[in-house]
């Protein structure tokens, strides 16, 4: 069996494009050349990768199963080339980073600061859901991932995690709201108060280990939105109060400048933790090591004050 990188590249390209014509344009080859590569690969493996009709081209059952493996091999080769080139200098190379929603909000500022110190290191950013951060690492599509602890305990043993920072769950309300007059706001205070919350995993993290009555009230919030910016603006307009993480100084400044208050919730104090993830079995390139160390130092200096709002 003699499988080539070109054959795997053709396989992935045809699968992604759903067409030999578009794949040939992407690979800068003739259509017959791409078709030949697929036939060679199928012959070597004694399988059929695509179901072909006169009108449609689609992956076979076997093709669906093998496509993630092909992507992983090609990603491995790209990583090998990147690491080999980065060894010429500790200050050169490429870093591929996957980040979840809340981490993504602060990452552009981090990358901009990193670029000032390491102008020859390129950092590519992939923002995705918290669940997909680990998937991208497992598939070797990225070198590092930053996200919450969501799903980590159920992940493969090959993923390692280092705590990057943690932030308290807070409530945001207008200055005129009754809760804004209290010296301490507790979770029980939220009951019978109209709430605006984010949809999805955020609610699960908020309500975990809370009293059932409070958890139910949050889960049945009057308004559920997709973006924190929407929740904050609705709070400013008087629709209710919202739950938030003080994930960026700019958010805290916006809250203060728009007649709102952000207060950490007590009894209990609940923290959301953010980690930096990587493959345990794979050594990082010098560029990735430099970026990881920069991340850790950056958040240590910029987020200590946010943990107590």
Q: Are residues 265 and 177 in the same domain?
A: yes
Q: Which domain holds residue 283?
A: 87-165+272-304
Q: Edge-to-edge strand order for the sheet containing 170-174?
A: 185-186, 260-266, 170-174, 241-244, 195-198, 223-225
Q: Is residue 54 part of a domain?
A: yes
Number of domains in the chain: 3
Distance CA 140, CA 152 (A): 17
Q: Is residue 82 part of a domain?
A: no
Contact 263, 235 (CB under 8 A): no
pLDDT in tens, 279-289: 888 888 888 99
Q: Are residues 132 and 116 in the same domain?
A: yes
Q: Are residues 284 and 259 in the same domain?
A: no
- Give the H or E element holding residue 98: strand 93-99
DSSP states along 159-207:
EEEEEEEEEE-EEEEETTSGGGGSSSEEGGGGTTS-EEEE-THHHHHHH
Q: Which of 47, 76, 105 is the last residue of a domain?
A: 76
Which pLDDT does position 237 carry in this prediction? Answer: 95
Identify the top-confidence range among 52-56, 142-146, 282-286: 142-146
Q: Are residues 185 and 143 in the same domain?
A: no
Which pLDDT does position 81 carry in this prediction? Answer: 78
**All residues at 6 or more sequence positions from 168 whose CB lies less than 8 Å from its CB, including other chains:** 245, 246, 264, 265, 269, 270, 271, 272, 307, 308, 309
pLDDT in tens, 173-206: 999 999 999 989 999 999 889 999 988 777 877 8
Q: What is the CATH number of the domain that holds 19?
A: 1.10.10.10
Percent of the chain surpassing pLDDT 70: 89
Q: Is residue 81 part of a domain?
A: no
Q: Which of 44, 76, 108 is the last residue of a domain?
A: 76
Q: Confidence class of residue 293 from pLDDT cuts 50, 70 and 90?
A: very high
Q: Which of 57, 76, 95 is the last residue of a domain?
A: 76
pTM of the model: 0.62
Q: Are residues 239 and 102 in the same domain?
A: no
pLDDT in tens, 92-117: 688 999 998 766 677 888 999 999 99
**Mean pLDDT taken over the chain:** 86
Q: Are residues 131 and 276 in the same domain?
A: yes
Q: Are residues 55 and 101 in the same domain?
A: no
Q: Are residues 242 and 212 in the same domain?
A: yes
Q: Are residues 66 and 153 in the same domain?
A: no
Whether the per-residue pLDDT at 155 is higher than 80: the answer is no
Nearest to residue 95, comparing CAs of 293, 298, 308? Answer: 293
Which pLDDT does position 47 carry in this prediction? Answer: 92
Q: What is the CATH number of the domain that holds 121?
A: 3.40.190.10
Mean pLDDT throughout 144-155?
A: 69
Q: Are residues 238 and 219 in the same domain?
A: yes
Q: Are residues 150 and 278 in the same domain?
A: yes
Q: Are residues 21 and 71 in the same domain?
A: yes
Mean pLDDT throughout 70-95?
A: 76
């Amino acid at each position: 069996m003699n499988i080539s990188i070109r054959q795997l590249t053709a396989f992935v390209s045809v699968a992604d494009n759903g067409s030999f014509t578009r794949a040939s344009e992407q690979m800068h080859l003739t259509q017959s050349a791409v078709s030949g590569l697929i036939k060679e690969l199928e012959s070597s493996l004694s399988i059929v990768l695509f179901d072909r009709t006169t009108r449609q081209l689609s992956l076979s059952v076997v093709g669906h199963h093998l496509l993630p493996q092909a992507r992983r091999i090609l990603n491995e080769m790209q990583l090998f080339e990147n690491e080999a080139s980065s060894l010429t200098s500790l200050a050169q190379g490429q870093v591929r980073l996957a980040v979840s929603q809340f981490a993504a909000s602060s990452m552009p500022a981090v990358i901009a600061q990193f670029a000032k110190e390491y102008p020859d290191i390129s950092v590519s950013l992939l923002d995705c859901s918290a669940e997909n951060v680990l998937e991208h690492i497992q598939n070797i599509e990225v070198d590092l991932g930053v996200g919450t602890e969501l799903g980590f305990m159920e992940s493969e043993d090959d993923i390692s995690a280092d705590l990057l920072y943690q932030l308290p769950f807070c409530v945001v309300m207008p200055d005129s709201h009754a809760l804004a007059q209290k010296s301490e706001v507790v979770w029980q205070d939220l009951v019978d108060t109209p709430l605006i919350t984010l949809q999805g995993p955020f609610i699960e993290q908020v309500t975990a280990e809370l009293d059932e009555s409070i958890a139910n009230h949050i889960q049945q919030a009057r308004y559920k939105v997709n973006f924190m910016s929407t929740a904050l603006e609705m709070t400013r307009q008087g629709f209710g109060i919202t739950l938030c993480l003080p994930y960026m100084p700019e958010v805290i400044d916006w809250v203060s400048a728009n007649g709102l208050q952000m207060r950490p919730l007590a009894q209990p104090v609940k923290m959301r933790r953010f980690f930096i993830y990587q493959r345990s079995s794979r050594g990082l390139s010098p560029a990735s090591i430099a970026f990881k160390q920069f991340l850790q130092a950056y958040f240590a200096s910029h987020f200590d004050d946010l943990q107590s709002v």
